Structure 1
Amino acid sequence: MDVIYFLKALLKKKWLIIISSILAVVAAFFFTMNKPKLYVSSAQMATGLTYTDQIRLRDDHVNMFEVDQKFESLITTITSPIVISLLSYDLLLHDMGGNRNNAFRILKEAQLNNPAYKNADKQKLLMLCQQKHDSMQMLSAYRPDERELQEVLKIYGYDYESLKGQLIAARMNRTDYIDLTFRSEHPELSAYIVNKLYAEFIRYYRSQRSEQTVENVETFAALVEQKKKELDTKVEALRSYKASEKLLNVDAASGSELQQIKGFEKTLFDERSNMNTLQASLDNINNQLSMAAGGKTVYNTSANGDIISLKRQITDLNEDYVKTGSTDEALEAKIKGLRSQLQSKVEQMTVTSGKNVTNADELQQKKGSLQAQIKATNMNIANLESRIASLRGTLGSYASKEATVGSLQQEVTMAQEDYNKLKEKLNAAIDNRSAPQDGFKQSLIGQPAIKPESSKRLVVMGLSGISVFFLTTLAILFLEFIDTSLKSPSIFERSVALKLISSINQTDLRRYSILNILQKKDSGNSADKKQRQNTFRELLRKLRYEVEHSGKQIFLFTSTEAQQGKTTLTQALAYSLSLSNKKVLIIDTNFCNNDLTVQLDAKPTLETFSIPREQFSIDKIRDIVTLYPSEGVEVIGCKGGDYTPSEILPENHLLNYLPELSAYYDFILLEGAPLNDYTDSKELVNYVQGVIAVFSSHAVLKQTDKESIAFLQDLGDKCIGAVLNKVKEDYLEL
């Protein structure tokens, strides 16, 4: 529904849209009529950026963003103020300092009389221009002579803004070329500018790069010298420390100490094993001596003792071998040797009577021998433990020195790396200075254009018409969208929950009275005004039809707020009813605004009329009414004031006799005060048979309006409906 409404709204304003578009096309035609003819020249320059990186570009990891960034930087330099300024100097020297016949631009009379040009010292300006061109410097606005030169450049149209506005510098899509394009009124000027722009850019670029290269070489040379001194200092510090600590090779010394400790620990292990064997043999001899002292016979069990000792050693060594993961080859070899000894002892052992018996002297002799061996073994163990402790202390000293040497060596390594990097950069800068500076080359020389550039007048006119067409359309839609007033019947029905019984169009009531409009006294009006007045009459007849067929006679016209058109509508309806031979009584009950009484020049008798019911007669009513200019319509006015009907009307007032008056009058029309601000209409509802609400199409619903509408809905059948007043004819069908 909203889409249809907007489409109809656009159709109603179609002539505005069409006329606006036509005016835009006409304006574009006149604006482009005197547009000067422009000649375009183009030059191309090869940058060499992609050729230089041709091998690298075959790599899948090429950074295209870096390539685009280089082109952007190059284009920015070409169109920079300094390069354009160099071009400006050259153009001015060409036109002012050269042959006047070869000048691209010849000043007109008004330009020659310009004080900035007329009062300037031409020779001095040309010398300054040549100086700035040779030294590649920009003009300063703080120096009077340079400011004068800037003004002269503007007069010729050779200033930065003028040249930059007609210049286009851009990379040709995904190529190695940059296109330089310029538009001017002179074909040779356009060609000269694009060619000279390339030359001035190359001159400036190579000058800047040469200066930068010299600065880089000097900077890197100083840094290399500084890093060389730092490296020599750190190398000397490392050498001095090694000499003071007598450390030629810390790693070799510490490795030798570790090997000695391992050898001594292996020997210590063997000595302790041998000590265990000797101690077991000594314990066996002591047991035999005890038996001999007790008078017992002692057999030679030395072989048995040796076998037991060997088995014990084999068991202990097997446990150690398993704990080391069965990977210690030395333990494995020792176990095999002990097992061979055990097998030999078992084979030598024979049980022969007489030979196995020994005496106490032999036992004492063996005991002494074992004690001597045990003492020697203890001395060996103590000596080995002392040597191992000494070597471990020496190894700890080596670790501390090694940490110091490592720290100094790391500083030397870092200094060496920094020195090597800076030396590489210095060599690169030196090579770069001797190598070609760039790969720039002008691949296409700019040529003067034979024909001027197309003015594209038709395109401009078409775009202007289309643009204005869409802008006007959007403006109309936007205004319709933000307009929340009840401007059309369709919007009223969606916004107000009341039956719309009629819509009344807006007509000119300032120049013509209601009677003149309804009596068709409009022969002097234009055709448009006649149409509006005819529409007003037809719409009013529809309202009259609804009133006549409502089955009611007494009506109250009210509204939610003031200035909705109740007074005019009441008069128009009364006159329209009289045209159909109906007798109508109008009662002004709008005490807050008695416009109806004033406009109809009625007698203000409503507040003072009071008569007992038994004395009521139609003749007494005839005494207080005022006759309307049209036959069949009578009016009763009120004085008006800040009061309500219940506060001002006396006992036995006129409104109590409305049912009796309905027998004499066909219709009785009352006008009430607005519901939002006053309670008059709410009090008058009890005296009437039907209520008609009047809404202006210009009104915007507020919260108070919604509350008043809810009151009208609560009236039920007594509320006949609503009238949408002051509707523009364009919106009647929307």
Structure 2
Amino acid sequence: MDLWYLFNILWRKRWLIVLVTVLTAASTWIFLGSKAESYKARAVISTGIIEYKGLTLQKEGSFVQQFQIESSFNNLIEQMKSRSTLNLLTQRLLEHDLGVDNAAEPPFRQPDPGEFPFPQSEIDSIVQKLKTNLSDSINEPLTNQPPPSQKLAEAFGYDYQTLSEDLKIQRVGESDLVSVEYEAENPRLAHFVVKTFVEEFFKLYEEDIFYEENVALKFHEEQLKKRRAELDSIVQVINDYKKQNDLIDPNAQRGSIVSHLKELESDLEDQRKTATALKAQIDILNRKVQQYTRYTGDDYADQLFLSEDFNRIDQQIKSLQDKIIERKAHGNRNTRDLEAQIDELRRKQANYIAQGVPLNSELRQRVNEQVRSWIMETVEKKLDLELANAAIDSYEAEIQRQRQKFDKLLQDDSYLAGLQEEKDRVEKEYLRVRSDYDATRLRAEGLKNPLALVEPVEFPYEPEPSKRALFTLFAGVAGGTLTAVLLFLLAFIDNTLQNAWRFSQIVGLPLIGQVPKVHEPVLELHQLFAKEMPEKELEMLKESVRKLRSAIENQGVHQVLFTSLKEGEGKTFLTLMTAYALALKEKKVLVLDTNFRNNDLSAYKDQNTLLLKTNESLPLWKRIKRTLKGKAAGHTVGWQDPVLKNIHFIGNKGGDKSPSEVFANRDFAAILKQYRKHYDYVLMEAASVNDYSDAGELLPYVEKVVAVFSAEKSIGLNDKDALDWMKQMDGKLLGCVLNMVERNNA
């Protein structure tokens, strides 16, 4: 679709576009002129989102990214537009107009009495409630106040829906400011709405800020107490366990036990070596003694141990040895005092032994002094062995106790490690909660309302400019533009052939002429060609037929077939027009009606003049014009057209047979050859190609084919086979004629 075609559409529909533009502009001018004057009040608020002058400890960090800033502005504006905020404004407006606030000013609005379905008793009840709310609002939070009567608010035009539409709240560019605007028919109302809204929202916003921070502070305080109690509980458990198990430093205690175990094991080994040596010495001494007597040193020692005094000394020595081992187990190597006591007791034992064991006279006589010394030495060795064995038992018992204590310390250490891990976790959580609490407390202490009134509302003394001319111009331009766009869309979806350009784009066959559409119901060909017609479209029709005549003459053909894709595209009309045009040049023309399906051509046989019906109705203005001139549409009665002597018709009676069936057993080619001897041209018409095979059967009998297309019809998928047939006529297609073309598209 080229630009010229589009501009041509606009040019042909220019009066429609002008009419729509004028009507739209006039309607806008009248509408704006009928509107009452309006007054606008405006206030500007600084939000503190970008430039906050108070404490800048934010919960999630400062507003540094663009999406955070936009989100904060959107949240603030939505909060300003919320139902709870506008309900406060509604309540203040009703209080004013119903006289609740005892204002001396008259009400801003008076509802239409016919549309005010409230009895006085109900109004008094609402007024009383508003007075109660007004007095309670001093102590009650703003958000807890009940909403005003919805129906009453709607009657005054103060309901939520109306206020949310009329109250304009928006950010000022990319700044930190938000503007609040309200436009009304009353300047006092506009001023009151903006002023009251800003005041009420400031109170509500500040209340919300402190409420949120106080709730957050209380929450963090409770969390802090809970974590502190958990931490103290775990610390108490750890301390009690250490106290109950005598744990000061388990690691150091384990190291000390290991060191003591090494010393005790070393001393135990020494005692074992001593005991072994003593046993060997005792055996040697006993063998010596037995050489002289049947008694051994063990016998004397057994008798000695039966002594109560000796046995008491022996027990004292063993007790002192146990104390020495116990001191060593506790890391105290200073045992000289105990060792001195043992030495003293050993001397007593030695004296006791030296005094001799009570021997009978026979034994004394037999045993000499040497043997006696061996016996006494054996007794001393026996005593040392007993003390060594007692020390071994004590060392082993103490080592076992120390090992059990070491194992117990390992268990205690593992248990304390678990408690310590839990303590570290709780302590970490406690410190985090403490940090949150400190930050919240600091915010709460330094809290300040970030909103500030930068531009207070001023009383609107002058009404808003209506911009009547500007809006009228805009409406007219918009109306004309939309009309043009609509025409473009209609042209775009219109798939009819319309003109030569669209024909070439869609059909792709050679075009030898365009025939304009005429708006005459009947055409008298003699009058049409005899003189210049006042109607331009008729002159264009004559010239288009003459061009078609020239195309036939220039090709040098004499047998031409007229056909079309579909019915009603103008084959008969163009056949007659072409025949008449050729007859005007004194050519003999034979018109053969070979359209057996629709034999309209046969109806023109034996007529005095050719009157072609176009299936068009004459416009009303043309009929009136011709009536005033005394010229009726039609032809001259009783007159013979001289041109018709050169045109002969051969018609048919119609039927459902095809040409090949009609010409069966006849040599139609020979018949045409005989006709050619008497006529310069033979024009034939075939039925539509889409519906019938007639054109294909007549093709061998003609020299050229003229395909007629209607500009008012479209080409679809059903036409593809017929178009392909026309493109494959082996050069017999003279060309196509686009019929019924609107004059502006020609």
The normalised TM-score by structure 2 is 0.67
2:108 pairs with 1:105: yes
2:506 pairs with 1:518: no
Task: Name the CA distance, whole Å, in 1 between partners of 2:497 and 2:689.
Answer: 18
2:703 pairs with 1:689: yes
Q: Which moved more, 1:129-138 or 1:543-552?
A: 129-138
Shift, 1:396, TM fit: 8.7
Task: Name the CA distance, whole Å, in 2 between partners of 1:492 and 1:656.
Answer: 38
Which of 537, 542, 546 does residue 537 from structure 1 map onto? Answer: 542
Q: Which moved more, 1:126-135 or 1:473-482?
A: 126-135
The amino acid across from 1:191 in the alignment is: H
Shift, 1:431, TM fit: 6.0
Task: Name the CA distance, whole Å, in 1 between partners of 2:14 and 2:243.
Answer: 104
Which of 567, 577, 580 does residue 562 from structure 1 map onto? Answer: 567
Task: Name the CA distance, whole Å, in 1 between partners of 2:406 and 2:71.
Answer: 60
Task: Name the CA distance, whole Å, in 2 between partners of 1:251 and 1:61.
Answer: 52
Shift, 1:682, TM fit: 0.5
Which of 90, 93, 98 does residue 91 from structure 1 map onto? Answer: 93
Identical residues among aligned pairs (%): 27
Task: Name the CA distance, whole Å, in 1 between partners of 2:412 and 2:255.
Answer: 14
Shift, 1:102, TM fit: 2.1
Assess, with a 3 A threshold, how the Cα gap between structure 1 residues 7 and 563 changes in structure 2: closer, same or farther: same
Shift, 1:599, TM fit: 6.8
8 Å Cα contact 2:40-2:190 kept in structure 1: yes
8 Å Cα contact 1:250-1:398 kept in structure 2: yes
The amino acid across from 1:103 in the alignment is: P
Aligned to 1:707: 721
Superimposed CA distance per residue, residues 259-292 of structure 1 (whole angstroms, 9 cap, x where no aligned partner): 999999xxxxxxxxxxxxxxxxxxxxxxxxxxxx
2:182 pairs with 1:158: no
The amino acid across from 2:563 in the alignment is: T
Task: Name the CA distance, whole Å, in 1 between partners of 2:681 and 2:121.
Answer: 95
Assess, with a 3 A threshold, how the Cα gap between structure 1 residues 419 and 657 changes in structure 2: closer, same or farther: same
Shift, 1:90, TM fit: 0.8
Assess, with a 3 A threshold, how the Cα gap between structure 1 residues 628 and 670 changes in structure 2: closer, same or farther: farther
Aligned to 1:285: none
Assess, with a 3 A threshold, how the Cα gap between structure 1 residues 65 and 682 changes in structure 2: closer, same or farther: closer
8 Å Cα contact 1:673-1:680 kept in structure 2: yes
Task: Name the CA distance, whole Å, in 2 between partners of 1:551 and 1:250.
Answer: 129
2:487 pairs with 1:476: yes
The amino acid across from 2:483 in the alignment is: T
Task: Name the CA distance, whole Å, in 2 between partners of 1:261 and 1:52.
Answer: 72
Aligned to 2:380: none
SS of aligned partner of 1:692: strand
Task: Name the CA distance, whole Å, in 1 between partners of 2:262 and 2:107.
Answer: 99
Equivalent runs, 1:137-536 vs 2, <5 Å: 149-243=149-243, 246-253=246-253, 402-426=413-437, 436-508=447-519, 511-513=521-523, 515=525, 518=528, 530-536=535-541
Aligned to 1:652: 666
Task: Name the CA distance, whole Å, in 1 between partners of 2:63 and 2:525.
Answer: 91
Task: Name the CA distance, whole Å, in 1 between partners of 2:54 and 2:202.
Answer: 21
Shift, 1:452, TM fit: 1.3
SS of aligned partner of 1:113: helix
Task: Name the CA distance, whole Å, in 2 between partners of 1:566 and 1:539.
Answer: 15
Shift, 1:468, TM fit: 2.8
Aligned to 1:123: 124
Shift, 1:654, TM fit: 5.5
Aligned to 1:73: 75
2:565 pairs with 1:551: no
Shift, 1:680, TM fit: 1.1
8 Å Cα contact 2:43-2:457 kept in structure 1: yes
Shift, 1:666, TM fit: 2.4
Number of equivalenced pairs:
571
The amino acid across from 1:93 in the alignment is: E
Assess, with a 3 A threshold, how the Cα gap between structure 1 residues 405 and 22 changes in structure 2: closer, same or farther: same
Task: Name the CA distance, whole Å, in 1 between partners of 2:199 and 2:62.
Answer: 36
Which of 587, 593, 598 does residue 598 from structure 2 map onto? Answer: 593
8 Å Cα contact 1:112-1:118 kept in structure 2: no
Task: Name the CA distance, whole Å, in 2 between partners of 1:445 and 1:104.
Answer: 23
The amino acid across from 2:93 in the alignment is: L
SS of aligned partner of 1:674: coil
Shift, 1:21, TM fit: 2.7
Assess, with a 3 A threshold, how the Cα gap between structure 1 residues 260 and 534 changes in structure 2: closer, same or farther: farther
Task: Name the CA distance, whole Å, in 1 between partners of 2:407 and 2:62.
Answer: 55
SS of aligned partner of 1:490: helix
8 Å Cα contact 1:20-1:469 kept in structure 2: yes
8 Å Cα contact 2:516-2:743 kept in structure 1: yes
8 Å Cα contact 1:695-1:724 kept in structure 2: yes
The amino acid across from 2:550 in the alignment is: Y
Which of 547, 571, 575 does residue 576 from structure 2 map onto? Answer: 571
Aligned to 1:323: none
The amino acid across from 1:565 in the alignment is: G
Aligned to 1:335: none
Aligned to 1:303: none
Shift, 1:76, TM fit: 1.9
SS of aligned partner of 1:454: coil
Aligned to 1:27: 27
Assess, with a 3 A threshold, how the Cα gap between structure 1 residues 533 and 421 changes in structure 2: closer, same or farther: same
8 Å Cα contact 2:511-2:738 kept in structure 1: yes
Aligned to 1:725: 739
Superimposed CA distance per residue, residues 464-520 of structure 1 (whole angstroms, 9 cap, x where no aligned partner): 2332333233333333333333221122223333221111111235x2245487357
Task: Name the CA distance, whole Å, in 2 between partners of 1:105 and 1:522.
Answer: 77
8 Å Cα contact 1:116-1:151 kept in structure 2: no
Task: Name the CA distance, whole Å, in 2 between partners of 1:122 and 1:480.
Answer: 62
Assess, with a 3 A threshold, how the Cα gap between structure 1 residues 716 and 97 changes in structure 2: closer, same or farther: same
The amino acid across from 2:514 in the alignment is: S
The amino acid across from 2:552 in the alignment is: V
Superimposed CA distance per residue, residues 325-373 of structure 1 (whole angstroms, 9 cap, x where no aligned partner): xxxxxxxxxxxxxxxxxxxxxxxxxxxxxxxxxxxxxxxxxxxxxxxxx
Superimposed CA distance per residue, residues 549-578 of structure 1 (whole angstroms, 9 cap, x where no aligned partner): 321111111122322221222222223333
Aligned to 1:632: 646
8 Å Cα contact 1:585-1:635 kept in structure 2: yes
Assess, with a 3 A threshold, how the Cα gap between structure 1 residues 43 and 404 changes in structure 2: closer, same or farther: same
The amino acid across from 2:186 in the alignment is: H
8 Å Cα contact 2:580-2:643 kept in structure 1: no
Superimposed CA distance per residue, residues 216-258 of structure 1 (whole angstroms, 9 cap, x where no aligned partner): 4544444344333333333334335545655432444466689
Aligned to 1:279: none
The amino acid across from 1:554 in the alignment is: Q
Task: Name the CA distance, whole Å, in 2 between partners of 1:392 and 1:691.
Answer: 127
Task: Name the CA distance, whole Å, in 2 between partners of 1:647 and 1:258.
Answer: 132
SS of aligned partner of 1:591: coil
Assess, with a 3 A threshold, how the Cα gap between structure 1 residues 500 and 119 changes in structure 2: closer, same or farther: farther
Shift, 1:172, TM fit: 3.3
The normalised TM-score by structure 1 is 0.68
SS of aligned partner of 2:52: helix
8 Å Cα contact 2:529-2:542 kept in structure 1: no
Shift, 1:648, TM fit: 3.1
Aligned to 1:336: none
Task: Name the CA distance, whole Å, in 1 between partners of 2:184 and 2:741.
Answer: 58
